[in-house]
Each structure stands twice: as C-alpha cells, then as structure tokens.
C-alpha cells in the first residue's frame, strides 16, 4: 500500500486472544470480515442521523465511507477510527433549516452551508494543534479527565437504545435476548467467531426475532419486502450547499463538540492499545474537518469519529487500521446500492438496540479502564469531584444554551471536566 504498511499477523493470533495493533493486520480475508462488523456497528446511527434531519441516508453512508478514507490518509493510516454521521448537528440543523419532518428536508441547502463552515473551523483548529503540539493537552487532560470523558461518551448514548429502540415490552425482552446472545458468543466461543461477537450476536438474535414474530406472531414481523424491491445499484440524492450567514453562525460552533468527541476517542484508543496517538491529534482533527466539508458539499451529514466502532475494537482487541480501510470502501459501495441499505435497515430495531447497549457499555468501561491503568487516586477530592460531576453531566445530558446554540451532554461534560480540573488543580 505504499506509505501504508501493516505487519501481517498469523491467524493463530485470533485463537490465542492476542491483540492486533493499529500497524498490524490479519490476513485480508479475515480483515474483510472484521470490516463488515464495523460497517454494521456504525450503520444504525449513521442512517438514523440523516433521517432525523431529512437528509438522504444513502448519501450519508457514502460520505461516511469517503470521510473514513480521508481520515485514514490524513493520519497516515496510524489512527484506527471510523467517521459516521454526527448527532451533534441534529439540533442546529433542524433550527437552521426549519425542518418539521418526516421526509426530505426542503431547506437542506442552508444546513449544508453551515456544515461546511463547521468543517472549515474544525480543520483550522486541527492545523493549530498540529503547529503548537499536544503538550497542552497532557496538562489539560490528565487520566482522571480523559477517563471521565471517555466513560461519558458511552453513558450519554445509553438512553438511545433504552428509550428509543424498544417501543413495546416484547422489544425490550428482545433487546435482552440480543445482548445475552452477544455475551454468550463473547465468553463461550473462541477464535474468529469470538472476535465477531457483535456480528454473530446480531445474526443469532435476528433469527430468534424472526422465529418469535414471523413464526409465532409475538411482535412486529421482520419486513424483508424492502430488500426485494430495492435496486442493486442507484445514485443517492445529492444536494448542493447554500451559504447563509445565520445558518453558518448557528452550525459552525458544533466544531467544538466534534473536537471534544475526537479527543475523547483518541484518548480511548490510546488507553486500549497502549500506543500514544496524541501526536496525530492535529491530523485527526483536520481529517475529520475535511471529511465534514466534503460531506456537506454533496448532501451528507457532518461526520465524527464513531464511538460504536471504538466499542467494537474494545471487544475484539483488534485495532488494525486496515479494517477501517476495508469498512470505508464497503460503505462507499453501499452508498450506491439501495439493496444493501435495505438489508441493513431490515435488521429489527430492538436487535440493533441490544447491540447498542453492549457497544455503548464497552465505551463506558474503557473510560474506567483509563482510571485503573493510571492508578487514579479517588481519595483525592480533586479527582473525586472531577469524575463525579463529569459523569452526571454527560449521562444526564446537561445542556447549556448560548442563544440558538445548544451545548449538549458530551460537550458540557468534556469542557466541564477540563475547566473543573484546571480550577481545582490551582491548589497545590
């Protein structure tokens, strides 16, 4: 691959439960299967975000793939991450475009102009970080802060599967069957099957769902008609941006939230891999910013590094960036294939919800692992208060409004943790 070179690890690494680092990879066949798992992990949220804003989901999928490849190139293939639709844009896009839903957003152009402005601001922040280095990040974000921020990314998302993805009692039980299926695969299998715990658990749960609903009539049956009627190949509905000052000023500040998310994600991957990725932060921010501008120019949602995929890495211990190269290419193909989109959308909502519970929980635990690995002292009131307040701000989605701009839970928790630590650390 020219500048992108991975050391191939033998298949035996899978069976002995070994870690695959960012600069290593499994044989391409297994790498491809792992790429499918990452594709499924990001799919639910990447499709849901554009639907909530009235954007075309196939454009969002296509742009997530292109964005992931841009990020891959910008970081020199050193940072394992997937870029999917960011939920941070939903509130401001609805406010800027006046979208009432459901269906296509008639005023999508002004929202896209704002998304491009946000991407530009984000790219400039990345360039600044690249120039002045990351020493300041170490001072601002010691392990108590980074652990809290990473944990909050998972906890903040917890209400999505619990509140939104199980509308009936049957669905709630089905979520339980799903996460138990994933847990059983994780503990009682080995080798490749164990590493594909998310994908295998999802398949098992979908089969059980089909038996209980289509077979026994207990819940909403799986509807596969959309798969049959969808075309194999087709162009998504691209849209052009319109630049309006008000919409741009409303949407551009989302860059601060994207910085917080990306920072937390890279800290999480650093903690899990034992490889310090801080020196790639500036390039990661720029990659994400450029990907957001490219997405906005074609009708896609702004993109961010995806917590779902970090959760999958935490579960599989496979951090190879080659997987994300594969997943990005697959997403581009999916963007041009309504049939594949229909197949993923046919996965029952509670099954996706059960998988989400596992993935978001793994992120929360990755935050706690940062505390444990760095021996954070919680008998020190400074550490205790920073962690305690941060966790509740993020989990409860503590929101501060500045005019029309809302700063939600992950943003308030991230910057709250940094500012609180800086304040309390003044006492030496």
Q: For 277-336, what is each residue's pLDDT tens digit? A: 888 999 999 999 999 999 999 999 999 988 778 888 887 888 889 999 999 999 998 888
Scan for tokens 């940072």, then name that residue.
79
198-215 pLDDT, tens digit per residue, is 778 888 999 999 898 888
Cis amide bond preceding 102, omega within 30: yes
DSSP designation for 280 = G
112-122 pLDDT, tens digit per residue, is 999 999 999 99
- Judged against a pLDDT cut of 70, whether residue 155 lies above it is answered with yes
2 pLDDT tier (thresholds 50, 70, 90): very low
Are 279 and 129 within 8 A, CB to CB?
no
Scan for tokens 């999480």, then name that residue.
268
Q: Average pLDDT for residues 239-263, to the nearest whole number?
A: 82
Give the whole-angstrom CA distance, residue 26 versus residue 201.
22
Are 137 and 376 within 8 A, CB to CB?
no
Q: Average pLDDT for residues 21-34, to the nearest whole number?
A: 85
- Judged against a pLDDT cut of 70, whether residue 267 lies above it is answered with yes
Helix (H) or strand (E) holding 305: strand 303-305
Give the whole-angstrom CA distance, residue 352 versus residue 39.
13
Give the whole-angstrom CA distance, residue 67 versus residue 69.
5
Give the whole-angstrom CA distance, residue 190 versus residue 425.
46
Q: Is 386 helix (H, G, I), strand (E, B) or coil?
A: helix
Q: In the numeric block, which tokens belong to residue 350?
A: 């509670």
Mean pLDDT of the chain: 84
pLDDT at residue 21, as a whole number? 81
- Judged against a pLDDT cut of 80, whether residue 408 lies above it is answered with no
1 pLDDT tier (thresholds 50, 70, 90): very low
Are 367 and 147 within 8 A, CB to CB?
yes
Scan for tokens 């849901």, then name that residue.
48
pLDDT at residue 64, as a whole number? 95
Highest mean pLDDT range out of 39-43, 104-108, 170-174, 337-341?
A: 170-174
Q: Is 258 helix (H, G, I), strand (E, B) or coil?
A: helix
Per-residue exposure over 120-149, b if at least 16 CB sit within 10 Å of its own CB, e if not: bbbbebbeebbeeebeebeebbebbbbbbb
Are 386 and 424 within 8 A, CB to CB?
yes
- Judged against a pLDDT cut of 50, whether residue 389 lies above it is answered with yes
Are 41 and 309 within 8 A, CB to CB?
yes
75-94 pLDDT, tens digit per residue, is 998 899 999 998 778 767 87
């Amino acid at each position: 691959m020219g500048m992108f070179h991975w050391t191939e690890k033998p298949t035996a690494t899978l069976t002995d439960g070994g870690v695959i680092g960012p600069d290593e990879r499994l044989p391409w066949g297994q790498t491809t299967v792992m790429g499918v798992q990452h594709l499924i992990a990001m799919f639910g949220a990447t499709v849901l975000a554009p639907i909530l804003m009235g954007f075309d989901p196939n454009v969002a999928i296509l742009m997530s793939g292109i964005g992931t490849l841009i990020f891959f190139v910008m970081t020199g293939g050193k940072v394992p991450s997937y870029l999917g639709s960011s939920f941070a844009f939903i509130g401001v896009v609805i406010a800027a475009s006046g979208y009432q839903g459901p269906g296509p957003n008639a005023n999508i152009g002004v929202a896209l102009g704002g998304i491009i402005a946000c991407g530009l601001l984000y790219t400039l922040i990345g360039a600044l970080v690249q120039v002045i280095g990351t020493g300041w990040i170490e001072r601002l974000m010691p392990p108590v802060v980074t652990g809290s921020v990473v944990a909050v990314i998972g906890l903040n998302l917890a209400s999505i599967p619990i509140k939104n993805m199980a509308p009936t009692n049957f669905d709630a039980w089905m979520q339980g069957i799903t996460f138990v299926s994933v847990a059983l695969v994780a503990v009682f299998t080995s080798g490749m099957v164990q590493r594909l715990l998310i994908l295998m658990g999802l398949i098992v749960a979908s089969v059980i769902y089909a038996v209980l609903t289509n077979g026994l009539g207990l819940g909403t049956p799986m509807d596969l008609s959309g798969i049959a009627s969808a075309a194999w190949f087709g162009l998504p509905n691209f849209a052009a941006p319109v630049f309006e000052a008000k919409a741009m000023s409303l949407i551009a500040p989302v860059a601060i939230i994207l910085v917080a998310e990306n920072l937390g994600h890279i800290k999480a991957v650093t903690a899990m891999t034992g490889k310090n990725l801080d020196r790639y932060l500036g390039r990661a921010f720029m990659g994400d910013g450029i990907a957001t501008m490219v997405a906005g120019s074609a009708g896609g949602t702004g993109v961010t590094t995806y917590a779902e995929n970090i959760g999958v890495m935490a579960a599989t211990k496979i951090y190879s960036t080659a997987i994300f190269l594969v997943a990005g290419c697959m997403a581009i193909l999916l963007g041009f294939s309504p049939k594949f989109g229909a197949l993923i959308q046919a996965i029952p909502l509670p099954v996706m919800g059960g998988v989400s519970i596992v993935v978001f929980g793994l992120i929360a635990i990755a935050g706690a692992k940062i505390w444990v690995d760095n021996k954070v002292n919680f008998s020190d009131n400074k550490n205790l208060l920073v962690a305690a307040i941060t966790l509740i701000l993020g989990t409860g989605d503590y929101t501060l409004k500045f005019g029309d701009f809302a700063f939600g839970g992950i943003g308030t928790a991230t910057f709250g943790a940094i500012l609180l630590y800086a304040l309390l650390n003044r006492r030496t």
